Copies of this chain bind each other. A is one copy, B any other.
């Protein structure tokens, strides 16, 4: 195959290195950019470069941020007494998207996983313990994945928080909203029955 343009070939090759973008999609995107005004390409390249060059991790919650302290941590309208512990910055976005939470976050950077070689020291657990001493936190919500690794990490954090005087809670596990019982897996359904709560 002769591309007739090395510039196009390079652009397609660069785009196709992105996850989930194959050669055909990359070609479609490149041809789209060629068809559109040049400003479009300039804006995309500029936005990507600015993001990659300037984004840092918030020094307080370790979420991605444009400034030393992120906009969530520095927002005076957020509840500073509640801290939600998540594995990944993606989880912050997911929780923000629910519009059900108004406290602060603490991004661990993963969960304990011996198989993938992630030990507690690779995560920001010590920083979390440190925050409980410095900040006026009344509740820590553990919002880690509902996996064995997530449970292990929950347990490890709980032990590390021995001196913490506030509440430690964990997000509810159960059947999803809209689920019909027959299609729910038996472990989830069993847990949902065990963890039943007063109807109110």
Contact = CB atoms under 8 A, between A and B. Distances in A.
A91 to B, nearest CB: 12
The 8 closest A-B pairs by CB, nearest first: A41-B52, A45-B45, A14-B47, A11-B51, A7-B51, A14-B44, A11-B47, A10-B47
Contact of A51 (B4, B34, B70): B34
Contacts of A46: 45
Interface residues of A, number: 60
B4 A70 contact: yes
A16 to B, nearest CB: 10
29 contacts: A1-B97, A1-B99, A2-B72, A4-B58, A4-B63, A5-B51, A5-B65, A5-B66, A6-B66, A6-B71, A7-B50, A7-B55, A10-B50, A11-B48, A13-B47, A14-B43, A14-B44, A14-B47, A18-B29, A18-B33, A19-B32, A27-B90, A30-B48, A31-B89, A33-B48, A34-B51, A34-B52, A38-B53, A45-B46
Interface of A: 1-8, 10-11, 13-15, 17-21, 25, 27-34, 38, 40-55, 58, 63-66, 70-72, 75, 89-90, 92-93, 96-97, 99
